[in-house]
Chain A
Amino acid sequence: MYDVQRIITDILGLLHLTDISHFLIPQIGVGGGVEAKEHVELMPLIKSTLIFLAGIGTVLGLGLALAAKKYSVKIDPKVEQVKDVLAHAHCGACGYAGCEQYAEAVVCKPDVPPNLCIPGGERTCEAVALITGKKALAREPDFARIMCQGDWNRAVKKFKYEGIQDCRAVILAGGGDKACRYGCLGYGTCSRVCPFDAITMTYNHLPYVDITKCTGCRKCETACPTKVIEVLPASRQVIVTCHSKDKGGETKKNCQVGCIACGICAKVCPFDAPSVEKNLSRIDLDKCKVCGLCVLKCPTNAITDFIPHRSKAFVLDNCIGCRICTKVCPVNAPSGEQKELHVIDQTKCIGCGICTAKCPVQAIDGTFNVAEVIAAAAKKKAKAA
């Protein structure tokens, strides 16, 4: 019996303990201020707490709801749709800060064309045009071109650089370790900034652009400290790949493949595309017909032909023997008498495609530009008819 009584008193004692209003409630702030109260009335405290919390919750909630209502920004559902079809590379090639900004601009502004997303390509362009109701115009792709061929074997170095292996760091050390201060430094900054892995470094430290991956987003162009990367339209495939503005002799000393501004390219070009300015030849891309003649004649091989393989021209049976091809050919490859089938000397032909373009009956085949020429002729015919 005694035990039961003791247990009951113990339990009552415990219950007594749970009444916290007998205890001091210390209030410790982060800053160290300690407030303690002798006695706390529990019920009014709970009441005011609940009222206060409910009140502040209501005020904040109502305030936010009102703000959301009053300051609501209508977002066109098209923006969301356009955003979904974009490439999401956030490369900035479109000229906007990111994909979201471009999506908004293309939906809201009537003069923003739908073909600006370069990584997205043609399909994205069509999809964006469909959503926004704009006309899709396929855009000629741009590719990054390295305007230097002076790899570490062919270009002279003025000192041995030991340090951080990044062009942006190298340029700080006396303008780079190459004797030519215009050329590619070859420490691969462009290959690291490329979001599409299109640039790889070759074994002799020159970047190689894989044009199947390059989208022309210009990230490498901005990152390159010597500004030796240019982003050019894809069809412009004959380019002076040198940026050296040094005098000819100096360039020759510094690099085996630099442009020495001899002007031979300007002389041989049938279309007057190259011109020498400030000790550097530059091909006017609008005049250039990518015939590749200058590539062969350049004494330092400073001009690069990006057409991988130039197939040679041959004459088809519908040749009328007009002798025009023999006159326009820069290397005298075609021969033949008037009104007879001509032949093109395969050993002489360089595949420049000039005769293909000039032939009045499209009787020359085999060069890189055949499809283009035939399409143009068909268009002309259709127009005439």
Chain B
Amino acid sequence: MDFSKLFELVIAASLINNFVFTRFLGLCIFFGVSKKMETAVGMSITFTAVMMISAALSWLIFNYVMVPLEITFLKIIVFIGIVAGFVQASDTIMRKVSPGLYYKLGIYLALISTNCIILAVPLINAGEHYSFIESLAFAFGSGIGFALALVIMASIREKLELADVPAPFKGLPIAFVVTGLIALAFTGFSGLIKL
């Protein structure tokens, strides 16, 4: 296994092809929970964890069941089912096993189950024929990228609360403008590495 390839994958997924700023996926959660730093951090942790586990699960199902059966065209439906089922199960189990963690992170789980980044990661893993470790690295990188986007946005929006924003731009509009500007800045990462 080539470690540098994995590192490149993580960098590529988190910075160069950042899901929020270059692929523009998962924007609803991004704008929803980036109002406060506290929720942003909680969401990032939960998101990365769910992302890695669901990527691993769907990789197993895809490569050991769907490819032999030649039904890879079903991957969208199946991945949605797997992710939603996994999130629901972890929600139930977490509530019983560690209520403290559930109160901290449980509210984000329901949001995550229908998130498009969570679906996109297994789909890309399948499409690019990544190996198991590579899929995990890709999922980790995507999670880190999303966390980075959330933390950057939350810190900016906490400051924006105090700023004198023109009335029509207050709230979501200015957040979109800011996101666009950060996305421009993120284009600077392209060409960082060649895959």
Contacts and interface: CB of A to CB of B under 8 A. Distances in A.
A27 B92 CA distance: 36
A29 B128 contact: yes
Nearest to A32: B127
B71 A31 contact: no
Contacts of B125: 31
Contacts of A169: 162
Contacts of A29: 75, 123-124, 126-128
B72 interface: yes
A71 B70 contact: no
B123 A31 contact: yes
Nearest to B77: A53
Contact of A64 (B66, B88, B120, B128): B88
A35 B127 CA distance: 9
A33 B73 contact: no
A60 B164 contact: no
Interface residues of A, number: 31
B32 interface: no
B73 A27 contact: yes
Given A56-B81, A101-B103, A45 B124 contact: no
B156 to A, nearest CB: 15
Give the interface size class of chain B.
35 or more
A32 B81 CA distance: 23
Contacts of B162: 164, 166, 168-169
Contacts of A63: 85, 89
Given A52-B66, A60-B85, A27 B163 contact: no
Interface in B92-108: 92-93, 95-97, 99, 103
Contacts of B70: 45, 48
Given A31-B124, A68-B92, A49 B71 contact: yes
Contact of A164 (B65, B97, B126, B163): B163
A67 interface: yes
Nearest to A29: B127
Interface string A146-174: 00000000000000000011101100000
Nearest to B89: A67
B129 interface: yes
A4 interface: no
A112 interface: no
A20 to B, nearest CB: 13
Nearest to B71: A49
B127 A52 contact: no
A97 interface: yes
Nearest to A49: B71
B103 A164 contact: no
A60 B82 contact: yes
B61 interface: yes
A15 interface: no
Interface in A211-244: none
A30 interface: yes
B78 interface: yes
A56 B123 CA distance: 18
A56 B79 CA distance: 11
B127 A30 contact: yes
B20 to A, nearest CB: 16
24 contacts: A25-B73, A27-B72, A29-B124, A29-B126, A29-B127, A30-B127, A31-B125, A32-B128, A33-B126, A45-B70, A49-B74, A52-B71, A52-B78, A53-B74, A53-B77, A53-B78, A56-B61, A63-B85, A64-B92, A67-B89, A71-B97, A164-B163, A168-B162, A169-B162
Which 6 residue pairs are nearest across A and B when measured between Cβ atoms?
Answer: A29-B127, A31-B127, A71-B96, A60-B85, A31-B128, A33-B127
